[in-house]
Amino acid sequence: MKKLHKFFIPIEIFLLFVIVCRYMEDRLMDKLTHVTAEYFKEDERTVPVSAEGKEMEQGEAKKVALTFDDGPNECYTEELLDGLAAKGVKATFFLIGKKVVESPEIVERIFQEGHLIGNHSYDHVNLNEMSKEAACEQIKKTNEEIKKVTGTLPEYLRPPFGSFKKNLDSDMNMIEVLWDIDPRDWSVKNTGKVVNRVVTNVQDGDIILLHDEYATSVAAAMEIIDILKSQGYEFVTVDELIFE
């Protein structure tokens, strides 16, 4: 009997340890839930204010812009255009000049369907590592190729890698557009992760960066649209976001 008792003591200590751990875990979770609730309560108290400093009307749509870099892509851009048309969403496409030359019919479709077209350099190069002349040439050649298809010179420029070259935008008389949310879709190539990274971080007025080069990114864009529409977001092009 004494032997048996000796055997049970470690088990009793272990069970006691487990019970204490569970209790501590419950207390910790209560605390975290409380902190999160307080955080959102704080957030609710913030009155939304528009650019003019007025309080926003109840129900005024929050705006967000989907932007797609590195196209046109022969495999995925048209699939994306089909999806955007079906959902009645306009987006912004920052195109690579040499790909415009390869697939002008896709560029024509982007333009005809009312999306905004911007410049993403001719060869997808780091403009900041080039001479001023070479960087300007990258932008100029791309603008000309886009104009050959659409009849319109692009006004918006997104430098590859977000690598800003000082004064290039003013020298080229263009408006530089970067982004607020980058889910790194080109790296993760996972629809669920891309969607999650966007919808958990997005705020009114944000510009979202995606690439119409991957099936996962096209699928993510469709899910992002559905989720954010259900949260009251309206999808606009970059010019509408900046100037309206």
Catalytic residues: 69, 211
Residue 104 preceded by cis peptide, ω within 30: no
DSSP state of 56: P
Position 233: which residue type?
A: Y
How does strand 62-71 pair with strand 233-235? parallel
Shortest distance, position 217 Cβ to Zn ion, whole Å: 12
β-strand partners of 207: 65
Query: Measured from the CB atom, is 64 or 210 closer to Zn ion?
Result: 210
Give the CA-trace dihedral at 230, 231, 232, 234, to 10 degrees. -80
Q: Does 71 bind Zn ion (CB under 5 A)?
A: no
CB 109 within 8 Å of CB 137: no
The residue sitting closest to Zn ion, measured at its beta carbon, is: 69
Q: Which stretch binds Zn ion (CB under 5 A): 4-12, 20-28, 111-119, 155-163?
A: 155-163
Q: Does 70 bind Zn ion (CB under 5 A)?
A: yes
Among 72, 154, 160, 183, binds Zn ion (CB under 5 A): 160
d(CA 209, CA 78): 18
Query: Measured from the CB atom, is 99 or 233 closer to Zn ion?
Result: 99
Query: Residues 92 to 131: which contact Zn ion by CB under 5 A?
Result: none
Q: Which stretch binds Zn ion (CB under 5 A): 110-118, 154-162, 184-192, 194-202?
A: 154-162
Question: Residue 46, SS3?
Answer: coil
Residues 6+ apart with CB under 8 A from 168: 127, 132, 135, 136, 139, 157, 159, 176
Q: Which stretch binds Zn ion (CB under 5 A): 18-26, 69-77, 166-174, 225-233?
A: 69-77
Shortest distance, position 197 Cβ to Zn ion, whole Å: 18
Q: Does 212 bind Zn ion (CB under 5 A)?
A: no
Shortest distance, position 112 Cβ to Zn ion, whole Å: 24
Shortest distance, position 158 Cβ to Zn ion, whole Å: 8
Among 64, 66, 68, 69, binds Zn ion (CB under 5 A): 69
d(CA 240, CA 244): 5
Q: Which residues bind Zn ion (CB under 5 A)?
A: 69-70, 160
